[in-house]
């Protein structure tokens, strides 16, 4: 995929986000959260509310799908083991609410996983995200979709490609400033190049899939 196509994707993505945000109604009032544990209710978000989040966890490599070999019906239809063990991840995020439920944001992450050859595979996802958050009393359930780029490296090889992640989370609002909870998400990490090797004829179209699960803290301001 050409670099110009990568640069165009975020513009199209942000355009879609603002079309969606125009349909979100503003909320007229906010119900504050008490600072203790006793019988308070969750806040109703309004335009301009922001959240900074941090999460630490694990990433499980699920499988790779070789699109070119899949066309040929080889290698079990193109599916292959990732040949990697469980890895670790850290994620920083920022959300800006457009209304009571809809938000836009940015996300920066990092992942490392050991391979069977006793080396390390690294991914550094960076991108924009859109989400919708359900609230029940002091529990908050954000659903998020992230789209961006992911520099990858293994040994002396590196690659910059597309990255996408749908995710879900459950948080408990401890007080007006902090909430704590759990996150899970599916990473889609494709590699599309025109470099030939002994198994391909001019194209490499490989899709990597990873499962993330982490614990997180969010600061509300």
To the nearest 10°, report the CA torsion of 150, 155, 157, 158: 20
Q: Is 118 left (phi over 0), alpha (psi -120 to 50) or beta?
A: left
Mean pLDDT calculated for residue range 86-96: 96
To the nearest 10°, report the CA torsion of 185, 215, 61, 106: 50
Neighbouring CB atoms inside 10 A of 75's CB total 12
Position 70 scores a pLDDT of 52
Q: List the beta strands (DSSP E) in the chain.
A: 50-66, 79-80, 87-97, 102-114, 120-123, 126-136, 139-154, 157-173, 178-193, 204-220
Q: How far apart are CA 37 and CA 119, in angstroms?
A: 47
Q: Is the pLDDT higher at 13 or at 168?
A: 168
Cα–Cα distance list, 169 to 3, 53, 160, 183 (Å):
33, 12, 28, 4
Position 146 scores a pLDDT of 97
Q: Is pLDDT at 36 greater than 60 in this prediction?
A: no
Range scoring the smallest mean pLDDT among 63-77, 83-97, 134-148: 63-77
Mean pLDDT calculated for residue range 28-35: 45
Q: Which neighbouring-strand residues pair with 28?
A: none
pTM of the complete model beyond 0.85: no
Q: Residue 88's pLDDT band (boundaries 50, 70, 90)?
A: very high
Q: Is pLDDT at 39 greater than 90 in this prediction?
A: no
Mean pLDDT calculated for residue range 13-28: 48
To the nearest 10°, report the CA torsion of 209, 213, 214, 217: 90
Q: Is pLDDT at 138 greater than 50 in this prediction?
A: yes
Q: Is 50 left (phi over 0), alpha (psi -120 to 50) or beta?
A: beta
Q: Is pLDDT at 41 greater than 80 in this prediction?
A: no
Position 6 scores a pLDDT of 44
């Amino acid at each position: 995929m050409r670099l110009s196509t990568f640069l165009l994707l975020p513009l199209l993505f942000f355009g879609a986000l603002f079309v969606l945000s125009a349909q979100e109604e503003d909320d007229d009032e906010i119900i504050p959260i008490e600072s203790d544990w006793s019988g308070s209710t969750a806040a109703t978000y309004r335009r301009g509310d922001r959240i900074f989040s941090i999460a630490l966890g694990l990433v499980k490599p699920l499988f790779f799908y070789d699109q070119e070999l899949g066309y040929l019906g080889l290698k079990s239809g193109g599916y292959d083991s990732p040949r990697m063990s469980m890895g670790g991840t850290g994620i920083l995020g920022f959300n800006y609410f457009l209304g009571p439920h809809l938000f836009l944001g940015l996300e920066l992450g990092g992942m490392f996983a050991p391979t069977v050859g006793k080396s390390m595979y690294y991914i550094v996802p960076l991108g924009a995200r859109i989400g919708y958050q359900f609230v029940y009393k002091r529990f908050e359930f954000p659903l998020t979709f992230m789209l961006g780029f992911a520099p990858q490296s293994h040994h002396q090889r590196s690659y910059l490609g597309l990255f996408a992640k749908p995710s879900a989370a459950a948080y408990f609002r401890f007080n007006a400033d902090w909430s704590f909870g759990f996150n899970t998400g599916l990473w889609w990490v494709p590699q599309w190049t025109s470099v030939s090797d002994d198994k391909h004829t001019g194209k490499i179209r490989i899709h990597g899939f990873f499962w993330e699960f982490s614990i997180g803290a969010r600061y509300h301001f």
